[in-house]
Amino acid sequence: MRRYETIFIADPDIPEERRSQIFDKIKDTVKVQNGFIAEFDEWGIKKLAYEINRKPRGYYVRMDLCGTGDLIFELERNFRLDDKVLKFMTILLESNTSIEKIKQEIADKAKSKEEKDALESEKRTAQTEDLSDSDEVESSEAKPDEATLDEVKENEAETDSTDTNIDKTETETIGEKEEQK
């Protein structure tokens, strides 16, 4: 068997039911032709590099599949007949592969993804704990800050009274100068 990768772009404006009918038809074609779909990734709606049939966007789908040349011929024939498929491209990944090898790759990917998800959840938990610890530290540090604020207010009050005394002496000095004149 050969391993292929097919990417096709569907019309983004069609309803979800119609889109799922297209996908089901593709999957049925692969099964009828004794093929195997290893991965079926829906990438969603993305902007096109250039307009196709006056559409600036498209619904991207990627398939990793195994089969014969007849399967690809029939699949591409169905793409050409369906006017809701804007573009498609199929490339050969491996010319001689086995289904068991592909199933093993899929299992390995799933296992590594689970491990990655577990690590991410542990990191999130650790970050949440760090944030709660820092909140406790901030609340314990807030009390000395309040005392510092009180000291600053007292110093400002003393400075204001000193400034007032200076203003009075300046006023008296100016008043004395006027009296002398």
Identify the H or E element spanning 88. Answer: strand 85-94
119 and 91 in one domain?
no
82 and 40 in one domain?
yes
- Which domain, by its residues, includes 6? 2-97
54 and 141 in one domain?
no
128 and 102 in one domain?
yes
What proportion of the chain, given as a percentage, has pLDDT over 90? 47
Scanning the structure block, which residue is given the tokens 């097919």? Answer: 6
92 and 102 in one domain?
no
62 and 108 in one domain?
no
Task: State pLDDT tens for residues 61-94.
Answer: 999 999 999 999 999 999 999 999 999 999 999 8
Nearest to 39 by CA among 113, 115, 117: 113
Query: Which long-range CB contacts under 8 A does 97-104 form with residues at least 24 apart?
Result: 97/1, 97/2, 97/3, 97/66, 98/1, 99/1, 99/36, 99/66, 102/3, 102/36, 102/38, 102/66, 103/38
Scanning the structure block, which residue is given the tokens 């002496």? Answer: 169
At residue 156, the pLDDT reads 67
What is the DSSP annotation of 12-59? Answer: TTS-HHHHHHHHHHHHHHHHHTT-EEEEEEEEEEEEEEEEETTEEEEE
Domain presence at residue 77: yes
Mean pLDDT computed over 20-42: 92
Q: What is the CATH number of the domain that holds 8?
A: 3.30.70.60
Asked if pLDDT for residue 113 goes beyond 90, the answer is no
Distance CA 76, CA 74 (A): 6
Task: State pLDDT tens for residues 144-169.
Answer: 555 566 666 666 666 555 555 555 55
At residue 134, the pLDDT reads 62
Task: Decide which of 77, 97, 117 is a domain's last residue.
Answer: 97
The region of weakest confidence among 73-82, 112-121, 169-178 is 169-178
At residue 57, the pLDDT reads 96
Helix (H, G, I), strand (E, B) or coil at 64: strand
Domain presence at residue 168: no
Asked if pLDDT for residue 124 goes beyond 60, the answer is yes
Structural domains in the chain (count) = 2
The region of weakest confidence among 8-17, 109-118, 159-168 is 159-168
Domain presence at residue 169: no
Task: State pLDDT tens for residues 34-47.
Answer: 998 989 999 999 99
